[in-house]
Amino acid sequence: MKTTLKTLSIATICLVVAMATYGMYKLTIGNYQFNAPFMFGFILVAYLLLLTYAKRGIRKIWTLVIIASLTTLQSCNYAKSNQQVVVSDDCGMTWKKINAGEAVPKAGLNMCYMKVVIPNFPMQGEATFISNLKDKVRANVHIDYDYSITDALAFIKQAKFLGKANVDADNEEAIGKSFEMAENMVIDKRIKDVAKRIFVDEDIVELDQSEIENHLLTESNKALESLGVHLNFITLSFDLDEQTRQAIDVSTAMKIYESKNLQDIGKQVMSQRAGATKITVENKTETPKSE
């Protein structure tokens, strides 16, 4: 019985040491010592103590278990290829990016430790606002855009509110809802400013949809480049009032008549269309007949 118990104890010790050794190996190749040097030193000391007590055998089994627990106290996960993980150990004053495949440590004993998981794949956003075009034409503008965050360190400086102490790199919520506010504060504002500057010189009648979308995309990317954001494409639409739409229809129709040398006929047709909605009331006074 004693022999069996001793064998099981030795096997347990060997298993614990093997697991701890593998964990230290994964931490080392994952650059844990660079991302969290203080906690890595703490784990290293616990690991060395584990090896020391492992040699003393079964008499120190409980001490061995406690030390083994210390080596696994600071768990971590790993940055994925579709993520950009940035961390800060000074409450967001400075940030460091953790490359894909490297270990992402927990906060541990550092109360100022912060972590942000930023998507490394295209995302979609939209912006709606009122803008003036040429000749003081007002329009409701709706923009749909597709964007990618190309520089996580530059982006987080503009959206520091995303930082939290222990964001799990596998947590989908960390990637989704938080960026709606970031889009409004970082991306939408720049697109609106650029769009209003461009639209003020654009004639709504002569406007080329494709050309202005490309122009807006180019100018917006110039404004967003320093913020670590790149727009992949933009879709633009204008919502005009009824009077403006009718004016555009008339202008377009007249150009067609002019291209066929039918200006006079076009003017007559436009005049008749304009008068079709008018109601003329004539009051006739009858002169009484004399007898």
* Residue 156 lies inside a defined structural domain of this protein: no
Kindly tell me if the per-residue pLDDT of 214 is higher than 70: yes
* Residue % of the chain over a pLDDT of 90: 13
What are the start-end ranges of the H helices in the chain? 2-29, 32-35, 37-54, 61-71, 152-158, 178-182, 189-199, 209-224, 242-259, 263-276
C-alpha separations of 148 from 43, 110, 115, 124, 272 in Å: 37, 31, 20, 9, 53
Six-digit token string for 216: 């807006």
Per-residue pLDDT, averaged over 120-128, amounts to 88
Q: Which residues pair with 141 in a beta bridge?
A: 129, 238
Q: What is the pLDDT of residue 230?
A: 94
Per-residue pLDDT, averaged over 46-67, amounts to 61
* Residue 157 lies inside a defined structural domain of this protein: no
Check residues 7 and 98 and name the one with the higher pLDDT.
98
* Residue 154 lies inside a defined structural domain of this protein: no
* Residue 103 lies inside a defined structural domain of this protein: no
* Residue 44 lies inside a defined structural domain of this protein: yes
Which range of 105-119, 206-220, 247-261 scores highest in mean pLDDT? It is 206-220
Are the CB atoms for 261 and 232 separated by under 8 Å?
no
* Residue 286 lies inside a defined structural domain of this protein: no
Q: What is the pLDDT of residue 278?
A: 45
Question: What pLDDT, in 10s, does the model give residues 165-192?
Answer: 445 545 555 455 566 677 777 888 899 9
Domain limit, last residue, from 45, 74, 103: 74
Domain limit, last residue, from 74, 99, 119: 74
* Residue 29 lies inside a defined structural domain of this protein: yes
Q: What is the pLDDT of residue 102?
A: 80
Kindly tell me if the per-residue pLDDT of 253 is higher than 70: no
Question: What pLDDT, in 10s, does the model give residues 12-21?
Answer: 767 777 777 7
Domain limit, last residue, from 74, 104, 119: 74
Check residues 156 and 244 and name the one with the higher pLDDT.
156
Per-residue pLDDT, averaged over 190-198, amounts to 91
Kindly tell me if the per-residue pLDDT of 149 is higher than 80: yes
* Residue 67 lies inside a defined structural domain of this protein: yes
Kindly tell me if the per-residue pLDDT of 281 is higher than 50: no
Which range of 29-43, 104-118, 195-209 scores highest in mean pLDDT? It is 195-209
Q: How many structural domains is the chain composed of?
A: 2
Kindly tell me if the per-residue pLDDT of 105 is higher than 90: no
Spatial separation of the C-alpha atoms in residues 15 and 9, rounded to whole Å: 10
- List of residues 6+ apart from 133 with CB closer than 8 A: 139, 199, 200, 202, 203, 204, 207
Q: Which domain holds residue 257?
A: 244-274
* Residue % of the chain over a pLDDT of 70: 57
Six-digit token string for 61: 């089994």
Sign of the dihedral through C-alpha 240, 246, 249, 254 = negative
**pTM, full prediction:** 0.61
Nearest to 127 by CA among 210, 215, 186: 186
Q: What is the pLDDT of residue 200?
A: 87
pLDDT band at 283 (very low <50, low <70, confident <90, very high): very low
Across the chain, mean pLDDT equals 73
Kindly tell me if the per-residue pLDDT of 232 is higher than 90: yes
